[in-house]
């Protein structure tokens, strides 16, 4: 399945410990590392780790037990690939996003950015947003994957922080339009604030949270 297998002895550092600040895992490549650190602290340079289409990053220790991926200062970006880890931590002022699959228990205190630029981020495992988190979604049409962003969680989804919605230029929704932007096996919590940009005149966008989904519904203002 993979044209290349790369084993990193010990942690994979990106943007810290003297390592390159930009690492891209190419297509058809599987990389296994004991742990992953993207950036180190606020004084270090930002790191960016990209996982290309059909690539896989597996974070395990020497005994093949899952370990941690920490996005301390920088970006974890998926371009159709997959990240497998016991846990993923996205620190404040850092980002995780793109389109692809994250298989982990994730705590996001930074920015959640599904799409590349528009698309679906699949998350297998619990996903919790912290009060400092920002979740940013674009809506540019009716077709899921290609015209509006989604985060599909196969596990518990805990909401918090700010939800930012942007209606893309050239798309004009009508009253009654509904877009399911997040799903989970169970959904709890709420967003502390909702910021909507480029909403057409005469319309408002309401966020509807149910036990299993988060939707945006356009209503008359």
| More confident call, 85 vs 45 | 85
Least confident of 29-43, 75-89, 139-153: 29-43
The pLDDT mean for the chain works out to 92
Confidence of residue 152 (pLDDT cuts 50, 70, 90): very high
Q: What is the pLDDT of residue 98?
A: 97
| More confident call, 43 vs 165 | 165
Confidence of residue 64 (pLDDT cuts 50, 70, 90): low
Confidence of residue 60 (pLDDT cuts 50, 70, 90): confident
Q: What is the pLDDT of residue 63?
A: 60
Domain boundaries in the chain? 4-220
Q: What is the pLDDT of residue 103?
A: 96
Express each pLDDT in 160-219 by its tens digit.
999 999 999 889 999 999 999 999 999 999 999 999 999 988 999 999 999 999 999 999
- Calpha distance 54→3 (Å, rounded): 10
Asked if residue 117 has a cis previous peptide bond (ω within 30° of 0), the answer is: yes
Q: Residues 6 or more apart from 143 whose CB is under 8 A from it?
A: none
DSSP lists the bridge partners of residue 204 as 219
Q: What is the pTM of this model?
A: 0.93
What contacts 24+ positions apart, CB below 8 Å, involve 104-113?
104/66, 104/69, 105/155, 108/133, 109/133, 110/71, 110/134, 111/135, 111/136, 112/136, 112/151
With 70 as the cut, is the pLDDT of residue 27 above it? yes
Are 198 and 168 in contact by the 8 Å Cβ rule? The answer is yes
With 90 as the cut, is the pLDDT of residue 61 above it? no
Express each pLDDT in 207-218 by its tens digit.
999 999 999 999
């Amino acid at each position: 399945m993979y044209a290349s297998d790369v084993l990193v002895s010990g942690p994979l550092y990106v943007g810290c410990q003297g390592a390159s600040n930009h690492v891209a895992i190419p297509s058809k490549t599987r990389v296994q590392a004991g742990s992953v650190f993207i950036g180190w602290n606020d004084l270090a340079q930002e790191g960016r780790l990209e996982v290309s289409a059909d690539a896989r990053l597996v974070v395990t220790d020497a005994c093949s037990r899952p370990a941690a991926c920490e996005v301390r200062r920088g970006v974890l970006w998926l371009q159709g690939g997959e990240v497998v880890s016991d846990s993923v931590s996205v620190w404040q002022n850092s980002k995780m996003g793109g389109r692809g699959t994250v298989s982990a228990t994730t705590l996001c205190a930074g920015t959640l950015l599904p799409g590349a630029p528009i698309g679906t981020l699949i998350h297998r495992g619990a996903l919790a947003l912290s009060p400092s988190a920002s979740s940013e979604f674009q809506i540019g049409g009716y077709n899921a994957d290609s015209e509006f962003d989604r985060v599909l969680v196969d596990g518990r989804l805990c909401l918090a922080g700010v939800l930012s919605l942007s209606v893309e230029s050239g798309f004009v929704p009508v009253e009654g339009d509904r877009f399911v932007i997040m799903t989970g096996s169970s959904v709890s919590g709420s967003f502390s604030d909702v910021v909507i940009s480029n909403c057409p005149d005469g319309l408002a966008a309401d966020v509807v949270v149910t036990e299993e989904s988060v939707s945006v519904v356009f209503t008359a203002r």
